[in-house]
Amino acid sequence: MSEKIIQINNSLNNNSLSKKVNIDDEFNSSFESDISIEYVNKNEEEEEEEISEQMKKISKSISTILIELIELTKNQKYQNQNDIFDTNSIPNMTLYDYINRIIFYTNCEENTLISALIYIDRIAKIKKISFYNVYKLIFTSILMSLKYNEDEIYKNDYYSQIAGVSIYELKKMEYEFYILVNFNLYINESNFMKYKYALEQIND
Give the per-residue pLDDT at 73. 76
What is the set of domains in the chain, with CATH numbers? 30-202 (1.10.472.10)
Distance of alpha carbon 179 from alpha carbon 136, whole angstroms: 15
51 within 8 A of 104, measured Cβ to Cβ = yes
Give the per-residue pLDDT at 32. 38
Cite the DSSP H helix spans in the chain: 3-13, 44-49, 53-73, 95-106, 110-123, 134-149, 156-163, 167-180, 189-202
138 within 8 A of 131, measured Cβ to Cβ = no
Distance of alpha carbon 141 from alpha carbon 137, whole angstroms: 6
Distance of alpha carbon 132 from alpha carbon 88, whole angstroms: 7
pLDDT greater at residue 186 or residue 35? 186
Confidence tier at 42 by pLDDT (50, 70, 90): low
pLDDT greater at residue 131 or residue 42? 131
> What is the CB-side half-sphere exposure of residue 23 using CA atoms within 13 A?
19
Torsion 165-168-172-175 (CA) sign: positive
- Closest C-alpha to 110, from 195, 202, 24, 22: 195
Distance of alpha carbon 136 from alpha carbon 143, whole angstroms: 10
Give the per-residue pLDDT at 92. 92
Give mean pLDDT, residues 71-94: 80
